[in-house]
Amino acid sequence: MTPNATDRMTALLKTRPEPGMTLESVPVPEPGPGDVRIRVESVGIDGGAEALIHDWHESKRHYADELPQLFGHEFAGTIDATGSDVDGVAAGERVAVEPVVGCGRCRCCRSGSSSICPDRRILGLDPEIDGALAEYAVVPREALYPIGSLSADEGVFLELLGLAVHGIERSSFEPGDSVAITGPGAVGIGALVAAVAGGASSITVVGTEADRRDRLPLARELGATRAVTVEDAAEGTEDVDVFVEASGHPEALSLASSATRRGGEIVQIGIFHGAETVPVDLTRLVRRGVSVTTVYGRRDSSWRRAIAIAEGVDLSPALGPAFPLADYEAAFEATRQRKGVKITLHP
């Protein structure tokens, strides 16, 4: 049932500068001009964002002066109401959301790269824009991507798959190329799915000892020809055409530097949290003609391709577990224990 302006909803708020979040009753947000309101069906927990904010990791304490705040930036649901000046979408339509909204005017935005807009806003992470750890969220119309009959959890995964697709489409990858991927998290698994869909001849997925029991078997299930720990990767991982680094570990970039073929390409997607500078043997890369392409966020074509891929692939092994919003503590604990690839909450 569509709520009235006076109705209230349950939201999972970060209220205090200490570990934890709390369920609160807050007003249902009203969509302004150009906005839509979404009944949130699934919202992902990002291990590098919401999970660290919940645990009050020192890297997230800059939010202290902004509390209380409603986070949640990977989400999907059904349009519930539209504000004025919104066309092309209607209530009842199921959508996923691009959380990075560019200014629309700068050179980056005008060339289709709003993900690197210097004035970009991030829904559910920037203090001035509420996120989706709640029953309803209001977002700008331009952030929406219709997902048709895909599930809400698949809609959440599209944000990660889209980033991986962006990495593949920005690279010189062509069908028949060999691919290696470091970091079998949501983006690395997304890169695997994208490389399979793109017709890679072989795909090596490289993880750590912690991935041996779950994420490496999952990678094999989703089409990896080889899934190994980094200790085992050095041997047999060589002359790779396109090496997707999605872990953000310096050791993985080092492996990429030695395993990418002459004239090949390293696609750097992983963020090196806590390491401002990362050693890389650039002279060796120059002498061997290996290029390094960095990728951040998605562009419009990434969404289009990610949706097309998701419609043709069974992503269910990479989805969940899912928890009701009220069981958020269990969901954050599952994230801590690395259960599943993309844990979601269902408000």
**Binding site residues, Zn ion, CB under 5 A:** 102-103, 106, 109, 117
Judged by beta carbon, residue 52 or residue 103, the one nearer Zn ion is 103
Quote the tokens at residue 41.
Answer: 């069906």
Q: Distances in Å between the alpha carbon of 129 and those of 66, 90, 121, 138, 188?
A: 11, 22, 8, 9, 28
Shortest approach of Zn ion to residue 229 CB, angstroms? 41
CB atoms closer than 10 angstroms to residue 296: 14
187: Cα separation from own chain's centroid: 6
What does the angle CA 133 – CA 137 – CA 138 come to, to the nearest 5 degrees?
A: 150
Q: How far apart are CA 178 and CA 237, in angstroms?
A: 10
Judged by beta carbon, residue 103 or residue 196, the one nearer Zn ion is 103
Shortest approach of Zn ion to residue 118 CB, angstroms? 7
Shortest approach of Zn ion to residue 117 CB, angstroms? 3
Judged by beta carbon, residue 107 or residue 262, the one nearer Zn ion is 107
Quote the tokens at residue 271.
Answer: 């963020």
What does the angle CA 22 – CA 23 – CA 27 come to, to the nearest 5 degrees?
A: 125
Q: How far apart are CA 309 and CA 80, in angstroms?
A: 27
Q: How far apart are CA 50 and CA 173, in angstroms?
A: 33
Shortest approach of Zn ion to residue 267 CB, angstroms? 23
What length does the chain have? 347
Shortest approach of Zn ion to residue 119 CB, angstroms? 5
Shortest approach of Zn ion to residue 102 CB, angstroms? 4
Q: At what angle do helices 186-197 and 152-170 cross, to 10 degrees?
A: 70
Residue with token string 């949501």: 186
Q: Is 171 exposed, middle or buried (0-12, 13-18, 19+ CB in 10 A)?
A: buried
Shortest approach of Zn ion to residue 296 CB, angstroms? 14
Judged by beta carbon, residue 109 or residue 165, the one nearer Zn ion is 109
Q: Answer for the pair 178, 154: CB distance below 8 angstroms, yes or no.
A: no
Judged by beta carbon, residue 26 or residue 106, the one nearer Zn ion is 106
Judged by beta carbon, residue 102 or residue 340, the one nearer Zn ion is 102
- Which residue of the chain is nearest Zn ion when measured via CB? 117
CB atoms closer than 10 angstroms to residue 292: 17
Shortest approach of Zn ion to residue 99 CB, angstroms? 15
Judged by beta carbon, residue 118 or residue 127, the one nearer Zn ion is 118
Q: How far apart are CA 152 and CA 208, in angstroms?
A: 30
Residue with token string 């490496």: 216
Judged by beta carbon, residue 119 or residue 281, the one nearer Zn ion is 119
Q: Which residue type does 251 have? A: E
SS3 299: coil
Shortest approach of Zn ion to residue 49 CB, angstroms? 22
Judged by beta carbon, residue 114 or residue 254, the one nearer Zn ion is 114
